[in-house]
């Protein structure tokens, strides 16, 4: 896949570590200073809000400008923000507003960064290596999900909050320098036509999803439903394991670690599956199997069986995710990819907080996690079977986008 892709992978993992450091350090800092669960929860809300507000502009920028420069600018911005926060903490500032502002501004970088990143992958890896390229990236993301919180915790314990945040700033700076070393540019070529203005460009991508390339709409709806099912369980998993299965914190940690292991293994088999089966079939079968795996949690009692089943669910979920990334990158014209990534990602992610809140409210009212797990798994199964009536069933997902596909058709 080449040296440029290797640099992108290294930068991705490095900045991923930086994300985990601030996501752990800032809530812990608030909790230590206030002792308030509500004040701590505000940090998480502030980190989620930019995704809803800035994803669409991020997609437009990714299609309008050199994507490599966008990534460098994003990493440098995060490095500066983390550095300023580190200075403030080092000199003894205890302002909660400052921490909240830092959390919000750091979270603003991600929705502007991600569409450009996704658009850069096919330019560096090439269409033939997309399965392998996305699998390695997803594996790196899963490793950081597994190791990132532990590394962040050690840094906080050894260096304190100020030292951990200084390291955080350093990770973003390293990522920026690494991406600067990438030689290939990726953005719109001169002469490509796009509708004038932000709204016009967003409309072009929306029309492409809804009218011209409906496999994208089908996949987005399916993944939104699948996420709703998975997060109905995920959001309450710690409570379920602790209360219903009487597991100690250490055993809960074993189950949570198992999901990371399953995700890494799932990423590892993606290239093999992607070269043997159409992406639509992988996604539909995987959605049904993951739903069945969630339902199968109900009779399981011991930590080993629950860990294995949850690892399988996450492994299948990772296969589906990587397959979706590859499919999207192959069938969307390059000049639209950033906006399509932003729009489809918004649809998929909006279901997560809704699922967490609804499942939590149902458990509080009914005190029946078994019913919630059954409904969550059943929703995934129904979503997968329902996908048989959509374009995902066809083999079109394996095809290259037509060379003539442009945004010029949108009026």
CB 72 within 8 A of CB 178: no
Q: Mean pLDDT across the chain, nearest whole number?
A: 83
The token pair at 278 is 């159409």
What's the pLDDT at 115? 87
What's the pLDDT at 374? 96
Q: pLDDT: is 205 or 380 the higher one? A: 380
% pLDDT > 90, the chain: 27
Tell whether the model's pLDDT for residue 411 goes beyond 50. no
Q: Look-up: residue for tokens 């490793």?
A: 143
Phi, psi (degrees; rounded to nearest 5) at 4: -60, -40
Tell whether the model's pLDDT for residue 247 goes beyond 80. yes
pLDDT per residue over 288-302, tens digit each? 999 999 999 999 999
Phi, psi (degrees; rounded to nearest 5) at 14: -65, -50
Tell whether the model's pLDDT for residue 50 goes beyond 50. yes
Q: How far is CA 138 from the centre of its chain?
A: 9
The number of CA neighbours under 13 Å toward the Cβ of 53 is: 11
How many Cβ atoms from other residues are within 10 Å of residue 97's Cβ?
Answer: 7
The number of CA neighbours under 13 Å toward the Cβ of 35 is: 0
pLDDT per residue over 349-383, tens digit each? 778 777 877 887 888 788 898 999 999 999 999 99
The token pair at 238 is 């710690």
Angle at 110 between CA 208 and CA 78, to 5 degrees: 145
Tell whether the model's pLDDT for residue 90 goes beyond 50. yes
Question: What does the pLDDT average to over 229-248?
Answer: 84
Q: Which residues, other chains included, contact 19 with Cβ-Cβ below 8 Å and sequence gap of 6+? A: 110, 144, 148
How many Cβ atoms from other residues are within 10 Å of residue 153's Cβ?
Answer: 16
Query: Structure pTM?
Result: 0.74
CB 287 within 8 A of CB 376: no
Question: What does the pLDDT average to over 247-265?
Answer: 80
Tell whether the model's pLDDT for residue 408 goes beyond 60. no
Domains of the chain, with CATH numbers?
A: 3-180 (1.20.1250.20), 198-394 (1.20.1250.20)
Question: What does the pLDDT average to over 144-170?
Answer: 83
Banded model confidence at residue 135, pLDDT cuts 50, 70, 90: confident
What's the pLDDT at 191? 41
Measure the CA dihedral 252/256/259/261, to 10°.
-100
- Cα gap 251→258, rounded to integer Å: 11
Question: What does the pLDDT average to over 165-189?
Answer: 83
């Amino acid at each position: 896949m080449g040296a440029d892709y290797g640099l992108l992978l290294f930068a991705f993992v490095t900045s991923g570590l930086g994300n985990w450091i601030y996501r752990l350090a800032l809530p812990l800092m608030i909790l230590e200073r206030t002792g308030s669960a509500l004040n701590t929860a505000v940090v998480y809300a502030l980190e989620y809000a930019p995704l809803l507000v800035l994803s669409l502009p991020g997609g437009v920028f990714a299609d309008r400008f050199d994507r490599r420069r966008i990534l460098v600018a994003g990493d440098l911005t995060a490095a500066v923000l983390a550095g300023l926060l580190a200075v403030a903490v080092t000199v003894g500032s205890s302002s909660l507003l400052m921490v909240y502002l830092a959390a919000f501004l750091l979270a603003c970088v991600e929705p502007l960064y991600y569409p450009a990143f996704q658009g850069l992958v096919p330019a560096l890896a090439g269409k033939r290596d997309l399965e392998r390229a996305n699998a390695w990236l997803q594996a790196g993301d899963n490793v950081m999900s597994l190791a990132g919180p532990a590394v962040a915790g050690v840094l906080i314990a050894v260096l304190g909050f100020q030292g951990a945040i200084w390291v955080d700033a350093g990770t973003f700076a390293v990522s920026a320098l690494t991406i600067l070393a990438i030689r290939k540019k990726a953005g719109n070529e001169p002469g490509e036509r796009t509708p004038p203005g932000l709204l016009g460009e967003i409309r072009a991508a929306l029309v492409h999803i809804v009218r011209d390339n409906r496999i994208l709409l089908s996949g987005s709806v399916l993944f939104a439903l699948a996420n709703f099912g998975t997060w109905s369980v995920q959001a309450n998993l710690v409570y379920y394991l602790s209360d219903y299965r009487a597991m100690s914190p250490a055993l809960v940690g074993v189950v949570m670690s198992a999901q990371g292991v399953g995700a890494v293994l799932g990423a590892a088999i993606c290239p093999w599956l992607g070269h043997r089966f159409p992406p639509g079939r992988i996604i539909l079968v995987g959605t049904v199997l993951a739903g069945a795996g969630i339902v199968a949690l109900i009779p399981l009692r011991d930590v080993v069986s629950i860990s294995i089943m949850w690892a399988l669910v996450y492994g299948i979920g990772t296969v589906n995710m990587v397959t979706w990334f590859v499919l999207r990158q192959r069938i969307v014209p390059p000049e639209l990819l950033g906006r399509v990534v932003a729009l489809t990602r918004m649809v998929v992610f909006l279901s997560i907080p809704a699922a967490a809140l609804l499942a939590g409210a149902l458990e509080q009212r009914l005190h029946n996690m078994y019913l919630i797990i059954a409904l969550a798994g059943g929703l995934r199964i129904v979503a997968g079977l329902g996908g048989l009536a959509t374009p995902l069933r066809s083999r079109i997902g394996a095809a290259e986008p037509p060379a003539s596909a442009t945004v010029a058709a949108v009026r």
